[in-house]
Amino acid sequence: MTLRLLVEPQQGTTYDAVSTFAQRAENLGFEALMTSDHLVRIGDGSPGPGPLHAWTLLAGLARDTQRMRLGTMMSAVTFHHAPVLALMAAQVDAMSGGRLDLGVGAAWFEREHQAYGIPFPSVTERFSRLEETLEVIRRLWTADPGAEVSYQGRHIRLDRCPALPGPYQTPHPPLVVGGLGKRWTPRLAARYADEFNAPFTTPAQVRAAARRVAIASEEAGRDPGDITVSASVVLCPGRDQATVTRRVADTGEPAADIADFGAVGSPEQVAEVLRAYRDAGAVRCYAQINNPLDLELLDELAEVAKLAGLHLPG
């Protein structure tokens, strides 16, 4: 299992802070840094600086880093029109030299839609849009050079849309689908995903969600081993109580609740929990980062990875 990073810029930060964090992470050997794709702060309080637009952020990081993979976790189909998202992602993939992973989701945070005047349809419609978005992106990315793509869906209609620019990676950047739903999510992951992400839950639930995806894959005639299983977690390591308390405060979550989706404590204690996610079938874990100014957290997460027997590819 590898340990990746997931920044949350909507909680209040600057581009320079995230770029510095990303470069430090790359120097320490972390494999990837993903960004959330939200438009307002989640939780109470002032957002401070930010939010940062996910795709503007990724375009900059594509130039500020050289090795580390980059991507979204997840870009919402409600405020990213499928062919435009495919175009943006292909450009960032080229700008990074083929280091993009694209996570696409159905959206869940109604408040950001209210704030920006974006319609927030029913959950059924959002998942229907997600399916069409995944289909359109894959068609555009895998079309022959110079081809035009037409598509007539319930929500998306393309009339000879140019399949340009094509992505750098062949056949296309990895597509990530995530969630804990028992019906839509496994089916969409089985059909479209290169990676399935179980977000912020227990190792037991990661195992159960991965099993649902495996069953759906078998039913679709696909080898479940073709889909990488990952988990997003909250990790608050520290060698002293003051550091742990500060990092818990950065998450905005009560320390007692984090046990349901991560770990709080010494590096050894956090490493033990990471091993539990690995044993549950996660090939990757994404550590959520709400405060990219805490550069020392990267050093401790690297130590946690080493204690857990995880691999930092760099």
Q: Please, what are the domains in the chain?
A: 2-307 (3.20.20.30)
CA distances from 188 to 71, 102, 175, 298 (A): 19, 15, 11, 33
Helices 184-192/203-219 angle, 10° precision: 60
**Residue 151 bridge partners (DSSP):** 158
Q: Which residues contact 4 (CB under 8 A, 6 or more apart)?
A: 30, 31, 32, 33, 34, 69, 230, 284, 285, 286, 287
The alpha carbon of residue 208 and the mean position of all alpha carbons in its chain are separated, in whole angstroms, by 20
Q: What share of the chain is helix, strand, coil (3-state, %, to 5)?
A: 45, 20, 35
What is the pTM for the complete model shown?
A: 0.96
pLDDT tens track, the chain, 314 positions: 999 999 999 999 999 999 999 999 999 999 999 999 999 999 876 767 878 999 999 999 999 999 999 999 999 999 999 999 999 999 999 999 999 999 999 999 999 999 999 999 999 999 999 999 999 999 999 999 889 999 999 999 999 999 988 999 999 999 999 999 999 999 999 999 999 999 999 999 999 999 999 999 999 999 999 999 999 999 999 999 999 999 999 999 999 999 999 999 999 999 999 999 999 999 999 999 999 999 999 999 999 999 999 878 76
